[in-house]
Structure 1
Amino acid sequence: MEQWLALELASTIRHDGDGGVADDLATVRGTTDWIRKQGPLLAGHVPAEGLTADEDLRLGIIDLRQAVRALFARLVSPAPPSPADAHRLMPADRAMDRLNTAAAREPVAPQLYWPDGRAPAARLLTGEEDPYVRLVAALARAAIDFLSGPQSTRLRSCTAPRCVRYFVKSHGRQEWCKPSCGNRARAARHYRRRRTAADDGPAPS
């Protein structure tokens, strides 16, 4: 489940519902709110529910997000990337370096956990005490897991008007990230057809 943190991180840039783009990490308070909402996905890595961001952490997460979105853009190519940052994407080699450097800041070792009556599971043992370092490293590892995992082949950029999200395609015919985007895309397509027909004018008699 942790690997889906990468998609959650990329989705902190989103359509604001009013024709523009919103950034959930635009402020320290917004960053704190976003981190706490990721509590279930961060369980076992860092106590997100009690973590309060500062400006350095906010900027660190934004740096990581830039790398993730650049690599998402590379992954969906030759399809177009999200229009939110298509004009200023970080080069892929720099994005990979940023991701790997962030992940390496917290040395971890997998430990087997197998309580009676339950399935075995892995936990990560760390000696790192700084929760900010642990958080950014966990986000970076989640992105690495996502990009190198089987679900990465289903990553898409939503092409609906005004949408800037990346999403994982859940079935063969899915074209947009959610039904409301599909409705907007179909409406825009219908409008374009009507404009084209009007511009062409009536057929000559």
Structure 2
Amino acid sequence: MTVEAVLPPAPGAEDHLALDFVNSAIALPGGQFLDLLGTPEATNRWLTERNLAPADAGVQEMCAAQLRSLRENVRALFAARVAGMPALPTALSAVNDALSKAPTAALLQWDDKNGPYRAFTCPTNEILDRALATLAANAADLLTGADAERLTACDSRPCSRYLLRHGRRHWCSTRCGDRARAARAYARRTQSRAD
């Protein structure tokens, strides 16, 4: 099952990779759960689709587990931001550790045919570190940037996705909005029958 078959990207995910990252674990109605980083193969596919790793990176379970751990720590920071609560020190530490994993400057390279250029060198053993650093940097940018005030959790249960609020919209998708409106209508009907 693909996420596109379940839900479209949450508002803001196209501009903030960190939203897409935290929303890679999806709670669905009926107690179902979809984890786009649930297996090494799924993790490799997710990273490849976002240009964070080559298709042949060969992600192992240890790497997938590190990404899932960072995801939960970023989710904890998003939850703290949305609730106006202090951040968990362990979540902050995990994101800062990921930020320091890879160099941030493109190095000067030289091609005999085309001359100088700048590029990130990324040996195979550093692919995960670079992906972790990129995701952590994007999360830090979102939490400290202009869009931070718009960050919110989807208002439709059991959905656990985050989005950037636009106007009064508090749902990550039309499907979640319809489900929330239907639940409110049902609650009103039930309440009026009880009265």
Q: Same fold (TM over 0.5)?
A: yes
- 1:35-86 alpha-carbon deviations (Å, 9 max, x no partner): 12212xx4xxxx444423111110110111111000000111159xxxxxxx
Q: Is 1:153 aligned to residue 117 of structure 2?
A: no
Q: What is the deviation of 1:17?
A: 5.4
Which of 81, 91, 112 pairs up with 1:75?
A: 81
Question: Taking every aligned residue pair, what percent have the same amino acid on both sides?
Answer: 34
- Determine which structure has more spread, i.e. the larger CA radius of gyration: 1
Partner of 1:86: none
Q: SS of the residue aligned with 2:105?
A: strand
State how far apart, in whole Å, the 1-side matches of 2:66 and 2:118 are: 22
* 1:194–1:3 distance in 2 versus 1, CA, 3 Å: closer
| Amino acid paired to 2:189 | R
2:76 and 2:91 in contact (8 A); partners too: yes
Q: SS of the residue aligned with 1:9?
A: helix
Partner of 1:106: 102
| Amino acid paired to 2:37 | L
The structure 1 segments of at least 4 consecutive aligned residues displaced by more than 2 Å after TM superposition are 15-21, 47-52, 107-112, 123-129
Q: What is the deviation of 1:154?
A: 0.5
* 1:50–1:146 distance in 2 versus 1, CA, 3 Å: farther
Q: What is the deviation of 1:182?
A: 0.9
Structure 1 unaligned runs (5+)? 80-90, 113-122, 201-205
Which TM-score applies when normalising by structure 2? 0.78
Partner of 1:177: 172
Structure 2 unaligned runs (5+)? 1-12, 109-116
| Pairing 1:31-50 to 2, within 5 Å after superposition | 31-39=43-51, 42=52, 47-50=53-56
- 1:94-150 alpha-carbon deviations (Å, 9 max, x no partner): 1111100111011222679xxxxxxxxxx9865653212111111111111111111
* 1:124–1:141 distance in 2 versus 1, CA, 3 Å: farther
1:6 and 1:142 in contact (8 A); partners too: yes
Partner of 2:37: 25
- 1:139-170 alpha-carbon deviations (Å, 9 max, x no partner): 1111111111111110110111321110111x
2:18 and 2:139 in contact (8 A); partners too: yes
CA RMSD of aligned residues (A): 2.6
Of 93-102 and 1-10, deviating more is 1-10
State how far apart, in whole Å, the 1-side matches of 2:131 and 2:170 are: 33
Which TM-score applies when normalising by structure 1? 0.74
Partner of 1:60: 66
